[in-house]
Amino acid sequence: MSIMSNEKTKKKFQMPNTWIIVFSMVVIVAILSWIIPPGAFEYETVEINGSTRNLAIADSFEYLEEGSGEPTGVLGVFSALYRGCVNMAGTIFMVFTCCATFRIMVQTGAFHAGIGVALKKLGKSSAILIIVMMIIFGLCGSVFGMLSELFGFYPLVVGLAIALGYDAMLGMAILALGEYIGFAAGTLNPYNVMISQGIAQVEVFTNLGYRWFCFAVMMAVTIAYVLWYGARIKKDPTKSLVYGEKNIHSFSETDMDSYKMTKQYGLVLVDLAVTLVILAVGLLKYGWGSSQLCGLFIAMSVAGALIMGWSGEKYVNEFVEGVKGMAWGALIAGIAGGIMVVMNDAKIIDTIINFLAELLKSAPNQISAQLMLIVQTLINLPICSSTGQAAVTMPIMAPLGDALNISRDGVCLIYQLASGLTDIIYPVSNIVIVCGLSGIKYEKWVKWVFPLVVILLVVEMLLISLFLALRL
């Protein structure tokens, strides 16, 4: 009996592969397309902060005639995967470009040399460095709305974290949580604060002081979580979720000694720094998009290869290896696009939004505010764009807030907290790209970050309750 019991092994829950998760979501939405009736709001074109937006008109929702929408059948589910990839072609190529070009920059050895120099100067002040970096990245997200602008820093920060005795997960968290939580707790953020307040007809930057308070609280909780994990794996490296896995950005002290800073390495790092400055200016001042970002990254990698004296064949081989390493992540972005294909064909997106909004009408003030947070969190899954979500939901939620005795700026705060937080976990967001840049499997990232998401969701509920109690 005891022998049999010893042979029994406990089965641990294993996170399904990301492809399976996303494909399951497509199947679920396809089933719903046969159940949910088609409907639509009327839309109007409005200029918000200098940009033209297509906004839903409040109380204009109507169910459409039977047959207006096209439910998705079995073949349609698989066709949606193809159509999703076609629709997301720009994103897919951006993923390939980011990963391939930064692989080339890492393979030059300049990052290793630069991190080696930084380590010698930093000594043992790693905890302070983590706090400072997360605050800086948090401010980039909160004030400027920077996300993709910081992509270039992932190899650097991940490599630095590993060299400091941590792991790649912590390195990714320093930057990803810093910028994404900062974005969610936006203060002057043009992409969620300004747009939502403009749509809700609230004076821009109303209750700025409270937003800074939200930023401080959420960043403090996030930093504490990262430091706790860092102390845990320093004490026992086997506690790391990526223990024993070789990361593309990792190197040992022996590697550090073998990469002495040279003129060539210095020029490659200058190439990177100049690229990031140009990118920031282009995105913030000139409204650059994915095409300019990809073009700039390719030019950066070509310059880096020329500085190191690489042949054209070596450059191409390294580029292809980079694309191979991120093929799964790029295709996930395309498969996730299939969700919107199914919903658009069936014309059920507006029906779902209207249904969720109607649920809020009969709830008391405090409860309805928390339900609104959950609703916006759910809506961020099919509409994983802060500006897109604001355009669709704010014209409906703002007047609904009036009826529920929630100030319009309170509705704006609820929207930005909900849409920003789930961007660090939803597979349809850029977090998949970030995982690729960091050399972390998405499934492992979700497992690591999920407890923090739950904690921060509770924190957001408390912040919203306090906002209502203060009658702001």
CA-CA distance, 172 to 69, in Å (whole number)?
42
pTM (2 d.p.): 0.77
Average pLDDT over residues 449-471: 94
Residue 471 has pLDDT above 60, yes or no: yes
Could you say which DSSP state residue 146 is in? -
Return the sign of the alpha-carbon dihedral for residues 414, 420, 424, 425: positive
pLDDT at 420 exceeding the cut of 50: yes
| pLDDT on residue 1 | 46
Please give the Cα distance from 355 to 375 (Å, whole number).
10
- Give the confidence band of 313 by pLDDT, cuts at 50, 70, 90: very high
Nearest CA to 143 among 194, 203, 177? 194
Q: Please give the full DSSP string across 159-225, using - where no structure is assigned.
A: HHHHHTT--HHHHHHHHHHHHHHHHHT-SS-IIIIIHHHHHTT--TTTTHHHHHHHHHHHHHHHHHH
Tens-digit pLDDT profile for residues 113-148: 777 777 667 665 788 889 988 998 999 889 878 787
User: Using CA atoms, how far apart are residues 237 and 220, in angstroms rounded to an integer?
Assistant: 25
Q: What is the dihedral of CA 99, 105, 108, 113, to 10 degrees?
A: -120
Q: Rounded distance, CA 430 to CA 437, Å?
A: 11
pLDDT level of residue 317 (50, 70, 90 thresholds): very high
Quick check: 117 and 156 in contact, CB under 8 A?
no
What residues does 54 pair with on adjacent strands?
45
First to last CA, the chain: 66
Confidence (pLDDT) at 147: 81
Q: For residue 5, what pLDDT band results from cuts at 50, 70 and 90?
A: very low
Q: Are strands 39-40 and 43-48 parallel, antiparallel or unpaired?
A: unpaired
- What percent of the chain is modeled with pLDDT above 90? 30
Predicted confidence at residue 7, as pLDDT, reads: 43
Residue 261 to residues 78, 117, 158, Cα–Cα distance (Å): 51, 8, 19
| Whether the Cβ atoms of residue 382 and residue 340 lie closer than 8 Å to each other | yes
DSSP helix/strand/coil, 363: coil
CB 174 within 8 A of CB 132: no
Average pLDDT in the chain: 84
Q: Average pLDDT of 31-42?
A: 91
Q: How confident is the model at residue 455 (pLDDT cuts 50, 70, 90)?
A: very high
The set of long-range contacts for 316-319, using a CB threshold of 8 Å and a minimum separation of 24, is: 318/100, 318/103, 318/104, 318/107, 319/100, 319/101, 319/103, 319/104
Q: How far apart are CA 456 and CA 327, in angstroms?
A: 31
Helices (H) and strands (E) in the chain, counts: 21, 4
Residue 251 parent element (H or E): none
**45 and 395 Cβ atoms separated by less than 8 Å:** no
**Residue 143, amino acid:** V
Dist. CA 29–CA 31, nearest whole Å: 5
